[in-house]
Structure 1
Amino acid sequence: MDAAKFLPVLDLSGEVEELRGALLAACGRVLDSNAFILGAEVQAFEAAAADYLGVKHAVGVNSGTDALVLGLRALGIGPGDEVITTGFSFFATAGSIETVGARAVFVDIDADTFNIDPNCIEARITPSTRAIMPVHLYGQAAPMQAIRDIAERHDLKIIEDAAQAFGGEYRGRKLGSIGDVGAFSFYPTKNLGACGDAGLLVTNDDQVAQLARKLRDHGSERKYHHVTLGYNSRLDAIQAAVLQVKMPYIDTWNDARRAAARHYRELLGGIEGLVLPHEADYGRHVYHQYTLRIEDGRRSAVEEVLRAAGIGAVIYYPQTLPQAPVFAERRGAAAPLPVAEQACREVLSLPMHPRLTEEAQERVAMALRAAMCA
């Protein structure tokens, strides 16, 4: 197969080329300043992000994972506590909970949206439960009103894992701004990506923001004055400068993703055994991934056909979180997650990015139709 004809799930080359001049200028500005950690560039990005998301505070950190860890710590969650979360997500969701010494309690997902099913949450609440961590998976909002109602009834905190959903919305509010803490990842493949690792914690709580800023810098209020045990989780100035260049484009890019999703629906509708993504009526899906289901145990065969046709496709995710080896010793005590387990057997993500052409989508659709009709 000619590598030049391969169609990847994500192609960043167009974005880099379009913004090359502005990105180089931003990096040059940082180089000229000789200020590479935190500082003015980070403060400017934090202010712009807070304004865009409609929150009081945005705290730049070095990854989306650390945004979750620091958010949990800033809410006072630690050893002996439990946090209820989805069983179907990237490992950092559960890993962050366990890293602070708390216990991740997994519940099943909604079959249509892949997000946490609020109907499964209350049965898993115990006297040790301190918080709920919903994930806005693939860029689609979790059902936040139902989650907030549960949290209020049981006096629980909410940490939104919005790593895949910058610019997404729930009933007109930006995702990440609805709970007590929101956490974003700017890993290069995200719909708003840096040129390396970067993350953001957002909150409307002054005390949470103040503690998060200490925690990201070894627990210090000022140099050599450490008031708690923290982390080395400072955002690099170059990454903040890169994100400042890109952030003004995020709505345009998300709109392009949504347009591509609509075109996929036109091309792929009506194929037996193919379940297309469902867009909940309460939110604005930003399609970080375009993830569908391949029913009847045919996913592997479909993958092979797509691969032979030079089309990239990825499984996000091949196992549930409690199936990770690190949780093996307590697997027997975990609640069954039949919907999440079925999703792990069926999900497949197709090429999706703002510059995906209709011609490329038609090529994907032709190969996918051939695979499903074989």
Structure 2
Amino acid sequence: MAWTSKSPSSTWPMPTWLPHSRRSRGARRGTSTPTWTHIGTPQARWCARPRAPRCGSPRASWSCTTALLPVDMYGHPADMIEMRRIADRHVLALVEDACIALGAEIDGRRLGRHADVTCFSFSPGKHLGAMGAAGACTTQNAALADRIHKLASDGQARGRHYDPKPRIGQHHETEGHNQRMDEMQAAILRAKLPHLDETLAVRRAHADRYTERLVGLADLPGERTGFRHAWRNYVIDVPPLVA
């Protein structure tokens, strides 16, 4: 989140269901403060319209907000149409956590183009998994892509790695980290990527089978109209056991 430059008092509304380690570490690497917001009922299992934070006053307001960080819960897309409308209206950055929703769709469009930045994870447990740490961000903003490249490459421009006339020494233009995906992980992902549609089809067939067999036994997940689930997780809700 360090690619955005706002005051230290600005906030990032995030869903309360996001694992604490991820939501705190990610936001605080920049200059902003995470603000947890309810995403609707637990039965919905997707991020709905977020509530505006209170910004230290009794009245809710978007005035202190830097950006929205919706999360595609369990592989179901957040309501990115509504998130985009709120972000545009209040001039907010929109960053989508699609780490477990690769291949999910909204109105026939796969995730990766609805937000200013969409984040994907390719860790071994994902449905497109490498054999170690790996991930990617997508954006349609060239300047933003360059900024992200520098943040992941110790603050150096990526073009230096492909310069036909290599320059001596290091040239760090900004603060950054050594978080580039290594070549081995990229090779593994490149081999597995052509099979992604098949993997998604199998997971959706398994989800349909779960729904068929579990109907009436628990509160089951589903899909909103116009949304297509990636089914990273099939999460059910059951009543507490009575002793």
For the 8 Å contact 1:74–1:212, the answer to whether it is kept is yes
CA distance in 2, matches of 1:185, 1:78: 28
User: CA RMSD for the aligned pairs?
Assistant: 1.9
Q: What are the superposed Cα offsets for residues 273-313 of structure 1, whole Å, 9 maximum, x if unpaired?
A: x1011211121101100101012x23xx9xxxxxxxxxxxx
Q: Secondary structure at the match of 2:236?
A: strand
Structure 1 residue 125, shift from structure 2 partner:
3.6
Q: Distance in 2 between matches of 1:228 and 1:175?
A: 29
Aligned residue in 1 for 2:19: 90
Which digits, 9 at most, give the CA deviation of each residue in 1:191-234, with x for residues without a partner? 11110110101100010001111111110123501111111111
Work out whether 1:258 is the aligned partner of 2:204.
yes
SS class of match (1:233):
coil
- 1:36: which partner in 2? none
Q: Which amino acid aligns with 2:231?
A: Y
Residue in 1 that maps onto 2:75: 139
**Identical positions, percent:** 33
Q: Residue 95 of structure 2 corresponds to which residue in structure 1?
A: 159
1:228 and 2:158 matched? no
Q: How far apart, in 2, do the equivalents of 1:77 and 1:176 lie? A: 24
Unaligned runs of 5+ in 2: 55-59, 161-168
**Relative to structure 1, is the Cα distance of residues 192 and 93 closer, same or farther in structure 2, using a 3 angstrom cutoff?**
farther
Maintained 8 Å contact 1:192/1:246: yes
Residue of structure 2 equivalent to 1:100:
30
Aligned length, in residue pairs? 226
Partner residue, 1:110: 40
What code does the residue aligned with 2:173 have?
A: V
Q: For 2:222, what is the secondary structure of its paired residue?
A: coil
Distance 1:249 1:291 in 2: 25
Following superposition of structure 1 onto structure 2, how do residues 4-83 of structure 1 map, counting pairs within 5 Å?
Answer: 72-77=1-6, 79-83=8-12
Deviations 1:229-256 (A, max 9, x none): 1111111000000000111111111111
Give the match's secondary structure for 1:291. Answer: coil
TM-score (norm 1): 0.57
Determine the structure 2 residue equivalent to 1:291.
Answer: 235
Deviation of 1:186 (Å):
0.7
CA contact 2:37–2:50 (8 Å) conserved in 1: no
Cα distance in 2, alignment partners of residues 216 and 180 from structure 1: 18
Whether the aligned pair in 1 keeps the contact of 2:39 and 2:50 (CA below 8 Å) is no
Measure, in 2, the Cα distance between the counterparts of 1:144 and 1:266. Answer: 29
Partners of 1:119 and 1:130 lie apart in 2 by 14
Match of 1:74, SS state, is coil
Larger RCO (CA within 8 A; separation ≥ 6)? 1
Q: Higher helix fraction: Structure 1 or Structure 2?
A: 1
Give SS of 2:34's match: strand
1:139–1:286: 8 Å Cα contact kept in structure 2? Answer: yes
Distance 1:113 1:164 in 2: 17
CA contact (8 A) 1:84 1:131 kept: yes
- SS state of the match for residue 83, structure 1? strand
